[in-house]
């Protein structure tokens, strides 16, 4: 049986057609080839058009179909992975009321702080397991305050994956995992956060039908099937935020297991069966794909907004003559520490792990006589690795162990410079796997439609492509990190 996995992130939509019987990916495509635009009408704003996402999906499927490597009629289930924390608003006709306010948009920080003050930090941490911060609920409150005429037209409040699923099926659904990432879910009652809704005077009817991550979220409509050149009636049987899905794709499902990703943003995602929350809101707690009221499985998420997007910015600015592979090669020609050049990758909105401060990106200690493009390429990748270490230290302070981290061999984890810096500065073994978000979504679809009897059965044949061990000679790397951290603390105090 063939399954279609859809992974739509900030930069592009990626699709994989996967054969559940043979455990083979038949084709993987991406659209657009270059990074999708982010609309920033004001400083700190970030929006994308949901209609563009739908167009990208159609174009990606046309590319996949053109490969001739499968018969579209053989696709029997669809899984969706999506960029987390975005806000999509629909009217009663099912049309988008505005662009989506996406995950890295910073406009709602103050509103989140006001909500926290009104409800109380203790309530937020006990019930939401997070502070409201800049998440989807705060973005909805921003629309309520600043766009009241539009706000009065709301029929559905959705996360980005809910919207794509709705375009496919015409059925409005969501999940506890999605609602937890939006700050709409009360973990103590396992239902919508009633006190939050009452405070904002929101209608619970705006929330789509709540279903499990694995299960039927509707079936492909004739209109969608025609647009995508697929069969009518294919069920959507899996839907998860990109970081939850990344962990799923790596088989990270149980307490003590840890996943990482370094796409547009950088993330550590640790699964725990203990109810944990960070009183400072630097680490966020969400329902994992296999969480239920009967069995606690939560994901502790540490996010760096600027990871791959930093590499993209540098390439666009000064490295456009180089491919990312060539940039990695040049970075490897420079010794660790980039000859004193320090990069701080915090230029993509407010940073949760820096307590929602807008620190911005910084490049320090430039020597015009010594430093070259190669130094800049290396300093940027090391800066992201150092930011990972900073976040991991916060997780460790929460009594979270990270004895092994798993990641897909993709994005920054394609760079030997980055993986070396990541492993050595964190002193944690890293396993790299041949998987990504779209393959994870396809495998989720197979699980959701009943192809596998258990989670374990989905991943039992997976083996790592590579395992990188720390050399335990921490002196040089720890010195580099401590110098970097010292400069970061000064920037935080000045922000």
Structure confidence by residue, pLDDT tens digits, 264-293: 889 999 999 999 999 999 999 999 999 998
Task: Give the model's confidence band at 348: pLDDT under 50 very low, under 70 low, under 90 confident, else very high.
Answer: confident
HEC letters along 273-319: CCCCCCCCCCCEEEECCCCCCCCCCEEEEEEECCCHHHHHHHHHHCC
Query: Among 108-117, 215-224, 241-250, 303-312, which is the least confidently predicted range?
Result: 303-312
Average pLDDT estimate for 467-491: 92
- E strand or H helix that includes residue 447: helix 437-449
Average pLDDT estimate for 77-81: 98
Query: Among 103-112, 207-216, 317-326, which is the least confidently predicted range?
Result: 317-326
pTM for this model (two decimals): 0.92
pLDDT at 389 over 80: yes
Task: Give the model's confidence band at 358: pLDDT under 50 very low, under 70 low, under 90 confident, else very high.
Answer: confident
Average pLDDT estimate for 402-419: 95
| Helical pair 416-426 and 324-332, crossing angle rounded to 10 deg | 50
Strands (E), 382-489: 405-408, 430-433, 466-468
Average pLDDT estimate for 18-33: 95
Domains within the chain, CATH numbers bracketed? 2-249 (3.30.420.40), 304-432+465-494 (3.30.420.40)
Amino acid 349: pLDDT:
84
Q: Report pLDDT digits (tens) over 291-313.
A: 998 999 999 999 998 898 899 89
Q: Report pLDDT digits (tens) over 111-151.
A: 999 999 999 999 999 999 999 999 999 999 999 999 999 99
Cα distance between the two ends of the chain = 54
Q: Report pLDDT digits (tens) over 108-117.
A: 999 999 999 9
* Separation CA 391–CA 386 (nearest Å): 9
Amino acid 350: pLDDT:
83
Amino acid 484: pLDDT:
97
Amino acid 4: pLDDT:
98
């Amino acid at each position: 049986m063939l399954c279609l996995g859809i992974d739509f992130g900030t930069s592009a939509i990626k699709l994989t057609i996967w054969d559940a019987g043979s455990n083979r990916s038949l084709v993987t495509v991406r659209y657009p080839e270059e990074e999708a635009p982010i609309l920033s009408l004001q400083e700190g704003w970030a929006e994308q058009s949901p209609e563009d996402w739908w167009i990208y999906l159609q174009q990606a499927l046309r590319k996949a179909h053109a490969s001739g490597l499968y018969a579209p009629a053989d696709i029997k289930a669809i899984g969706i992975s999506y960029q987390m924390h975005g806000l999509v608003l629909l009217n009663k006709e099912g049309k988008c009321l505005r662009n989506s306010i996406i995950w890295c948009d910073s406009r709602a920080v103050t509103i989140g702080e006001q909500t926290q003050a009104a409800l109380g930090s203790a309530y937020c941490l006990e019930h939401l397991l997070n502070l409201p911060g800049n998440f989807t609920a705060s973005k909805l409150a921003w629309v309520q305050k600043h766009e009241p005429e539009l706000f009065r037209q709301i029929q559905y409040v959705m996360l980005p994956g809910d919207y794509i699923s709705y375009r496919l099926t015409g059925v409005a659904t969501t999940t506890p995992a999605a609602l937890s990432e939006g700050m709409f879910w009360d973990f103590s009652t396992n239902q919508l956060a009633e006190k939050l809704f009452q405070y904002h005077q929101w209608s619970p009817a705006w929330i789509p039908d709540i279903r499990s991550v694995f299960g039927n979220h509707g079936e492909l409509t004739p209109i969608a099937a025609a647009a995508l050149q697929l069969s009518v009636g294919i069920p959507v049987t899996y839907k998860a935020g990109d970081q939850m899905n990344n962990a799923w794709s790596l088989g990270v499902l149980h307490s003590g297991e840890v996943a990482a990703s370094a796409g547009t943003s950088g993330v550590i995602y640790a699964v725990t069966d203990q109810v944990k929350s960070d009183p400072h809101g630097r680490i966020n707690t969400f329902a994992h794909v296999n969480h239920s009221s009967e069995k606690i499985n939560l994901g502790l998420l540490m996010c760096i907004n600027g990871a791959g997007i930093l590499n993209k910015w540098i390439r666009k600015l000064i490295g456009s003559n180089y491919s990312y592979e060539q940039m990695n090669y040049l970075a490897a020609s420079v010794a660790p520490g980039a000859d004193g050049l320090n990069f701080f990758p915090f230029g993509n909105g407010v940073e949760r792990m820096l307590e929602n401060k807008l620190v911005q990106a910084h490049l320090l200690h430039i020597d015009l006589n010594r430093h070259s493009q190669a130094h800049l390429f290396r300093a940027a990748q090391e800066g992201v690795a150092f930011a990972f270490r900073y976040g991991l230290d916060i997780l460790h302070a929460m009594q979270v162990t990270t004895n092994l981290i798993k990641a897909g061999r993709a994005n920054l984890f394609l760079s030997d410079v980055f993986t070396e810096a990541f492993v050595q500065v964190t002193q944690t073994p890293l396993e790299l796997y041949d998987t990504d978000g779209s393959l994870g979504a396809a495998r989720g679809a197979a699980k959701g439609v009943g192809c596998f009897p258990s989670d374990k059965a989905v991943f039992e044949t997976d083996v790592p492509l590579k395992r990188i061990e720390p050399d335990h000679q921490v002196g040089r790397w720890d010195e580099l990190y401590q110098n970097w951290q010292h400069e970061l603390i000064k920037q935080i105090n000045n922000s």
